[in-house]
Amino acid sequence: MRYVAVATDYDNTLAVDGRVDRKTIAALERLIQSGRKIILVTGRRLPDILDVFPEIGLCERVVADNGGLLYRPATREHTMLAPPIPPAFIDELRRRQVPELSFGNSIVGTVRPHEVTLLEVIRDLGLELQVIFNRDSVMVVPSGINKAGGLVAALQEIGLSPRNVVAIGDAENDHALLNQCEYAVAVANAVPTLKDIADWVTVGTAGQGVAEVIDELVAHDLTASPFSSSRRNVLIGMRRTGEEVSIPTTGLNLLLAGSSGSGKSTLATGILERVIEQGYQICVIDPEGDYEGFAGAVMFGTPQRGPGMTEILTALESPDTNLVVNLVGLPLQDRPAFFLALLPALQERRAKSGRPHWILVDETHHLLPRDWQPVQAVLAKDLTGMVYVTVHPDHVAKSVLLAVDVVVALGDDPAGTIAGFCRTLGLPLPKVESTSLDHGEAVFWDRRSTDSPSTLRIAPCEADRRRHRRKYAEGELPEDRSFFFRGPDNLLNLRAHNLILFMQLAEGVDEKTWLHHLRQGDYSQWMSGGIKDSHLADTVRRIEQQPSISAERSRQLIRSAIEERYTVPATGV
């Protein structure tokens, strides 16, 4: 189950004229029976919503005051999510006789066209408040408070991710809510601007539209066309023409194949980084410890001890926790068995919570080998969000390859890699460019498309940038990319093969030597050509071009520029 909860607005969405009809209540009950949850997200004050919606117990959580209050119907407890409205603001509105005022702890309401008065009072009192519109209603809440923030607080309490939530709304104040969630629905009576950002506009208005969504969720989990949608994408790389190549964040499986050292880990790491940035949860199965130290993930298992099934599944209960399951501590022959026990447990968890959203299986040819027969008992037919990484795609179980939607081939023989994939499945071989790949390039083939495989440059990952920065800070560059302090008369031959050594030598060389290279622009040329950091080179060039700058001052500024951009040991200089 991908969508495990519905977050819906109340007025003109769930309700008509403030009341929810019996057919809509029945639809909400069907949703709950399917194992999903309801979260009510409204601009109304909590006492008002309790008065008009007696079936509020159907809701797992209620976000009221347009995001300023979180209510738990089961226990009748609430938590304030926003500071109170300053009394001076309320007093001034009363003094100016603003009509139809309503007050909550963190919200003040009135109607159009009195937003002008509200803005004037906010300005005159110098308050950090914001005005929000809901059709003819006008609300004032503390700055930064909205329905999206209230929903996130509710989801954190019940252990769900916004990437598994459908949002439904009708008015201007629902924009943040719909943008926060994985799937956005506008009912037929919604304002045009909300319809513009929605993945689906219902045929029915208000409660009828909500019932439409629920029926499709219960029947197909929004997987049937035209309701299936992915508003987010993951960048893979750029074609030689400069065109970006991306894949949807949901609904497909990816194969990364190529020889050792071809860049599979760099590509896989970049994909995982970008997936995490968009709020998806990942689980990496790492048989050889290649993802040790992956930023943003918790590692289970060490070279001395294998991971535990219970600790993995417990960690996945938090939607904000990303995992690397390191199998190095297990005997080589036991790693496939552990994985084959873990994978059904991950799928069972997905059926309940929709997570983890992405599962990466490194060394797939070892964990799901070609001669392994009962693969169908472990891999669900509708299993997606899988990234398979392998040196030998033709050594991977056929059932796994059949489920692959996108192939990315790297290394010296991408055409051969794709040919091996096709032979295994008995597929006709697509036309693959015969050109050799440069370092950092790959061949991308979307099997769902009629386009031929194409060459692209892999989008860099942050982890790779950090590795390069460490190399330039502490490693050893070849002689032709090192910097040499020689001086105006070529009497010196002091080689700096990294940035730390450069800064150490810079502190020790005489002023005449330092200024000689500075005035020739040698430092910025080295940053550009040797370090290959155009940003740092530009900064240093501006320092070099400052007229009459002293040796001491220029040394200090260049050292600061390097230290700001690169992480170096505290004892480096």
* Sequential DSSP letters for 242-295: S-EEEEESSS--EEEE--TTSSHHHHHHHHHHHHHHTT--EEEEETTSTTTT-T
Q: Is residue 54 part of a domain?
A: yes
Q: Which two tokens stand for residue 55?
A: 């079936």
Of 196, 229, 262, the position where a domain reaches its end is: 229
Which of 442, 420, 424, 390 has its CA nearest to residue 259? 390
Residue 67 near residue 37, CB atoms below 8 Å: no
Cβ-Cβ contacts under 8 Å for 212 (sequence gap 6 or more): 202, 203, 204
Please give the Cα distance from 400 to 369 (Å, whole number).
9
Which of 343, 340, 296, 341 has its CA nearest to residue 320? 296
Question: When comparing pLDDT for 69 and 382, which is higher?
Answer: 69
What pLDDT sits at residue 426?
93
Please give the Cα distance from 522 to 514 (Å, whole number).
10
Kindly state the average pLDDT of the residues 131-155. 93
Please say if the pLDDT value at position 40 is more than 50. Answer: yes
On whether both 321 and 239 belong to a single domain, the answer is yes
Q: What CATH number corresponds to the domain at position 165? A: 3.40.50.1000
Cα-based torsion angle of the residue sequence 168, 169, 174, 180 in order, rounded to the nearest 10 degrees = 10
How many domains is the chain built from? 4
H/E element, 39: strand 37-41
Please say if the pLDDT value at position 230 is more than 90. Answer: no
What pLDDT sits at residue 434?
65
Please say if the pLDDT value at position 88 is more than 80. Answer: yes
On whether both 324 and 367 belong to a single domain, the answer is yes
Of 101, 121, 144, the position where a domain reaches its end is: 144
Q: Is residue 570 part of a domain?
A: no
Question: When comparing pLDDT for 514 and 538, which is higher?
Answer: 514
Place of tokens 């040196």: 391
**pLDDT band with cut points at 50, 70 and 90 for residue 68:** very high
Please give the Cα distance from 540 to 538 (Å, whole number).
6
The conformation of residue 350, written as its DSSP 8-state character, comes to H
Please say if the pLDDT value at position 105 is more than 90. Answer: no
On whether both 324 and 436 belong to a single domain, the answer is yes
Q: How many residues does the chain have?
A: 573
On whether both 132 and 246 belong to a single domain, the answer is no
Q: What CATH number corresponds to the domain at position 135? A: 3.90.1070.10
Secondary structure class of 145 (helix, strand, coil): coil
Please give the Cα distance from 479 to 481 (Å, whole number).
5
Question: When comparing pLDDT for 253 and 379, which is higher?
Answer: 253
What pLDDT sits at residue 295?
85
Q: What angle do CA 562, 566, 570 make, to 5 degrees?
A: 90
What pLDDT sits at residue 566?
76
On whether both 115 and 169 belong to a single domain, the answer is no
What proportion of the chain, given as a percentage, has pLDDT over 70?
96
Q: Is residue 573 part of a domain?
A: no
Residue 106 near residue 145, CB atoms below 8 Å: yes
Q: Is residue 307 part of a domain?
A: yes
| Predicted TM-score (pTM) of this structure | 0.79
Place of tokens 């197909």: 220
Q: Is residue 571 part of a domain?
A: no
Please write the tens of the pLDDT for every residue from 438-476: 878 999 999 998 889 999 999 887 766 555 566 567 778
Residue 500 near residue 573, CB atoms below 8 Å: yes
Q: Is residue 572 part of a domain?
A: no
Question: When comparing pLDDT for 412 and 486, which is higher?
Answer: 486
On whether both 367 and 279 belong to a single domain, the answer is yes
What pLDDT sits at residue 571?
40
The conformation of residue 439, written as its DSSP 8-state character, comes to T
Residue 315 near residue 308, CB atoms below 8 Å: no
Please write the tens of the pLDDT for every residue from 484-525: 999 999 999 999 998 889 999 999 999 999 999 999 999 999
Secondary structure class of 144 (helix, strand, coil): coil
Which of these ranges, 31-40, 138-147, 379-388, 465-474, has the smallest mean pLDDT? 465-474
On whether both 448 and 486 belong to a single domain, the answer is no
Cα 124 to Cα 27, 80, 119, 127, 184, distances in angstroms: 48, 27, 9, 8, 38
Please give the Cα distance from 112 to 134 (Å, whole number).
10
What's the chain's average pLDDT? Answer: 91
**pLDDT band with cut points at 50, 70 and 90 for residue 299:** very high
On whether both 217 and 252 belong to a single domain, the answer is no
Distance of CA 12 to the CA centre of its chain: 32
Of 460, 487, 516, the position where a domain reaches its end is: 460
What pLDDT sits at residue 467?
55
Burial of 511 (0-12, 13-18, 19+ CB in 10 A): exposed
Which of 421, 409, 423, 412 has its CA nearest to residue 453? 409
Residue 213 near residue 207, CB atoms below 8 Å: no
What pLDDT sits at residue 56?
97
On whether both 252 and 160 belong to a single domain, the answer is no
On whether both 11 and 91 belong to a single domain, the answer is no
On whether both 288 and 420 belong to a single domain, the answer is yes
Please say if the pLDDT value at position 84 is more than 50. Answer: yes
Please report, as a single letter, which amino acid is at residue 522: D
What pLDDT sits at residue 569?
45
On whether both 240 and 361 belong to a single domain, the answer is yes
Which of 58, 51, 135, 122 has its CA nearest to residue 86? 122
Please give the Cα distance from 55 to 307 (Å, whole number).
45
Q: Which domain holds residue 496?
A: 463-565
Please write the tens of the pLDDT for every residue from 351-404: 899 999 999 999 999 999 988 765 555 777 788 999 999 999 999 999 999 999
Which of these ranges, 21-25, 264-268, 344-348, has the smallest mean pLDDT? 264-268
Q: Is residue 472 part of a domain?
A: yes
Residue 336 near residue 327, CB atoms below 8 Å: no
Cα 181 to Cα 7, 22, 155, 271, distances in angstroms: 9, 27, 11, 21
What pLDDT sits at residue 432?
84
Which of 12, 8, 14, 4 has its CA nearest to residue 41? 8
Cα 331 to Cα 328, 336, 338, 365, 465, distances in angstroms: 7, 10, 10, 17, 33
